[in-house]
Amino acid sequence: MSSEEKQNSLSPKQRSEDASLDLALRPKNFNEYVGQDKLKKNLKILIEAAKKRNEPIEHVLFHGPAGLGKTTLAHLVAREMNAQIKITSGPAISKVGDLVAIILRLEDGDILFIDEIHRLSKLIEEILYPALESRSIDFVSGKGPSAQSYHLPLKPFTLVAATTRTSLLSSPLRSRFSGGSFRLDFYTEEDIEKILERNAKILCVETKPEAIKMLASRSRFTPRIANRLLKRARDYAEVKGEGIITADLAGEALKLMDIDEMGLESLDRKILDTLITKFAGGPVGVGTLAAAVMEEAETIEEVYEPYLMQLGFLERTPRGRCATARAYEHLGLTPPATTQNQQKLI
């Protein structure tokens, strides 16, 4: 990947000033949290019921592509419940002892947020089962003849977990989310426009309605991307214009970021182009495709593919990834007859 591609990529790694701006842009209550109406309704009932019973809310799982608002929801649940939130993630818990230490430190009513829960090892997952079900924890400390096993009671707490890959969660773990498993959908363009308008105000930047529309249409139906494009368009307008984000300046900023009219970045186009030109449109395994574009298979699956599938440019089949006729057309190529026929059948 060139350094320019790296800068423009959808990588979760962010510049530090972006991270602090993100905090400012994060919705502070359910009214500010745009869209996902059905999910919000369900969640509010769960919260109200728990409050009435004076109990912590039941364990919940949020799943869906990156940047759709899972972490934000975890914070909102904690805020609504007046609870403290302790944050960790699957990759950060590498040993049983890590999880035991976190869980034993939880206070009455705390929310434990585990992001990327699908990355927990099976061994660690098994420690969680009794903790979630019977509020106790069983573990062994030490090795060899001096090893001692413990069975300790826990204070009532709620696990709020997030994942981009529910299929990787074991069914015993999935069944422990007694409060429910909530899927976040891609947002509508209108919802993304609302988010952009609100955030432009927070960032104190003036925007023209056509600029908001343009940024929304290139945001992959994803709030995190919308925020990123808004921030970069603001930078561009400050440097190249009078600080007002007009449609022309937004268009130029997007061009500089190499984002096309469908919101595709250079790596999206590289994935499609490689699939079509090197693998005759597929089917090809994601590992092979990832090696050909020099990206990790996991990143392709979690970050790039959901949007390409949402646009109907790519299909996951049991035999591998396939480009659709639409993908050929987007790249200005003629789809082979079979792809056209397949497209008609879809």
Q: Which of 160, 195, 311, 322 binds ligand ADP (CB under 6 A)?
A: 195
Would you say 223 or 281 has its CB closer to ligand ADP?
Answer: 223
In residues, how long is the chain? 346
**C-alpha to C-alpha distance for 47 and 53, rounded to whole angstroms:** 10
Residue type present at position 37 = D
Note whether 18 binds ligand ADP by CB under 6 A.
Answer: no
**C-alpha to C-alpha distance for 43 and 37, rounded to whole angstroms:** 10
Q: Output the smallest distance, CB 74 to ligand ADP, in A.
A: 8
Q: Which stretch binds ligand ADP (CB under 6 A): 23-31, 260-268, 273-281, 319-327?
A: 23-31
Would you say 96 or 203 has its CB closer to ligand ADP?
Answer: 203
Note whether 70 binds ligand ADP by CB under 6 A.
Answer: yes
Would you say 27 or 179 has its CB closer to ligand ADP?
Answer: 27
**Cβ contact 314:346 at 8 Å:** no
Give the distance from CA 263 to its chain's centroid.
17
DSSP label at residue 117: G
- Take residue 19 and report the two structure tokens written for it: 């991270």
Would you say 35 or 251 has its CB closer to ligand ADP?
Answer: 35
Catalytic residues: 70-71, 115, 164, 224
Q: Output the smallest distance, CB 69 to ligand ADP, in A.
A: 3
- Report the interhelical angle of 209-217 vs 189-202 (nearest 10°): 120
Q: Which of 18, 22, 252, 258 binds ligand ADP (CB under 6 A)?
A: 22
Residues 198-257 that bind ligand ADP (CB under 6 A): 223-224, 227
Q: Which of 56, 69, 281, 306 binds ligand ADP (CB under 6 A)?
A: 69
Q: What is the DSSP string of 118-138?
A: GGS-HHHHHHHHHHHHSSEEE
Q: Output the smallest distance, CB 345 to ligand ADP, in A.
A: 33
- Take residue 318 and report the two structure tokens written for it: 């049991």
Note whether 34 binds ligand ADP by CB under 6 A.
Answer: yes
> Cis peptide leading into 335, omega within 30 of 0?
no
Nearest by Cα to 272 from 308, 219, 316, 222: 308
Note whether 72 binds ligand ADP by CB under 6 A.
Answer: yes
**C-alpha to C-alpha distance for 271 and 192, rounded to whole angstroms:** 26
Would you say 40 or 51 has its CB closer to ligand ADP?
Answer: 40
Report CA-CA distances (Å) from 115 to 163, 220, 309: 6, 22, 24
Residues in contact with ligand ADP, shown as a per-residue x/- string from 114 to 153 under the rule CB under 6 A: ----------------------------------------
Site residues for ligand ADP per CB under 6 A: 22, 25-27, 33-36, 66-72, 162, 195, 223-224, 227
